[in-house]
Structure 1
Amino acid sequence: MGDAPPRTPEPLRVAVLMEREAAPNRWEDWRFRVADVELDVGQFGRKSRCLRDDGRVALFAHPGLAVALFADEGEGYHLNLTSGAPVWFVMWRVQEGDPSQARPECVTLSYNEAGRLLDAQERVDNTPLGAEVRGWLQAYTDAHYRPEPKQRRRPASFVAPGQRARRMPEPGESR
């Protein structure tokens, strides 16, 4: 039968808990932050809802977000796991037309994907990753990620003149 490629696990279902603070300072009407990410086993229902609101701080649950793993994101998972403090990365947006509401748009475990989202000027917060999910991610990363072998670069003096890239002079250096 041959060796079958490692199976990609089913996506995790998570709920993002977001906190909203009213008038945190004189420049902001609202401040949002990701309070937590929890495995979603149905405890929050199917729709986003307010869990508590004391007039100043409110906590909202946003259930049903999928966290899928992809073989080509192995380096990003590895970087997250070896950072010393692995995290969930949550990209969220303030609702258009209602600046008092914010919603998580996606959740990832890839450091590289979070970096791409930040480069695209998206809001990305993180929150600590629990041991259970860390073990799941580590097993997947161990099975799918192989670091690129480091290749030694030959000094230019050992490369044939026709193969040398044209080198730009350093500042203050003449040609």
Structure 2
Amino acid sequence: MALGVVIRRLPGVTRWAKWSWKPVAVLPGAGAADWTLLREDGEAAEFHAATVPLTLYRGEAEAYKIALSEPAPCVYVVLREASGAWPYAVHLVTASPHEAQLFAESGEEIVEKVAMPAGLAAWVQSFTDAHYVEEQFVKRKRRKHMDAKQQDGIGDPRIAQPTDVYRAPGARKAGPP
């Protein structure tokens, strides 16, 4: 599904950053756009930055289920620095929190949660319902070679007392060996 990404530009709060850029909305089924100005309010402005595809994969169905179980389902927008007239380019939009985390770990991209519109949430939910398969829990079994009946190699053979096998050899008590 094609998703338009709306990015808000606000004045920066430090002298080192003139502007603050943040994804604030997605537009399902949007047409192509290249930083189209949507509205201005003083120094704040919102742009339809780009339209990118939201692709869902069967292997990520569990991640989509996690995203949909949040109180407010979200998609994640990944922005990368760009060289040109605009400081950022929309790299991708994903509904998987796991994939978003991978991009957030590098620190090179901006990853923001954006509220998922109701129609998009229903579309992702129907995909998840069709492709999610719960994996059965399989308890790990003990391996036979780990079931030694006899303790072998415990303690120091230089210590004659069988009751204190972990005592150091130099700390032997006076008495018969």
* Structure 2 length-normalised TM: 0.72
Partner residue, 1:110: 96
CA distance, structure 2, for counterparts of residue 65 and residue 126 of structure 1? 16
CA distance, structure 2, for counterparts of residue 47 and residue 21 of structure 1? 19
Q: Is the 8 A contact 2:58 2:131 kept in 1?
A: yes
Counterpart of 2:18 (choices 26, 29, 46) is 29
Instruction: Write the letter of the residue equivalent to 2:95.
Output: L
Partner residue, 1:14: 3
Instruction: Write the letter of the residue equivalent to 1:114.
Output: A
Partner residue, 2:144: 160
**Structure 1 residue 54: Cα displacement:** 4.8
Q: Is the 8 A contact 1:75 1:112 kept in 2?
A: no
**Structure 1 residue 161: Cα displacement:** 3.0
**Higher RCO (C-alpha 8 Å, min separation 6):** 1
**Pairing 1:20-59 to 2, within 5 Å after superposition:** 20-42=9-31, 46-54=33-41, 56-59=43-46
**Pairing 1:41-80 to 2, within 5 Å after superposition:** 41-42=30-31, 46-54=33-41, 56-80=43-67
Q: Is the 8 A contact 1:88 1:108 kept in 2?
A: yes
- Extract unaligned runs of 5+ from structure 1: 1-11, 165-173
Moved over 6 A (4+): none
Per-residue CA deviations over 1:98-140 (Å, capped at 9, x if unaligned) read 6x63222100111111112112333210111121111111111
SS in 2 for 1:103: strand
The number of equivalent residue pairs is 148
Counterpart of 1:101 (choices 84, 87, 104) is 87
SS in 2 for 1:25: coil
- Extract unaligned runs of 5+ from structure 2: 149-165, 167-177
Q: Is the 8 A contact 1:88 1:129 kept in 2?
A: yes
* Structure 1 length-normalised TM: 0.73
Q: Which has the larger radius of gyration?
A: 2
1:144 paired with 2:128, answer no
1:130 paired with 2:117, answer yes
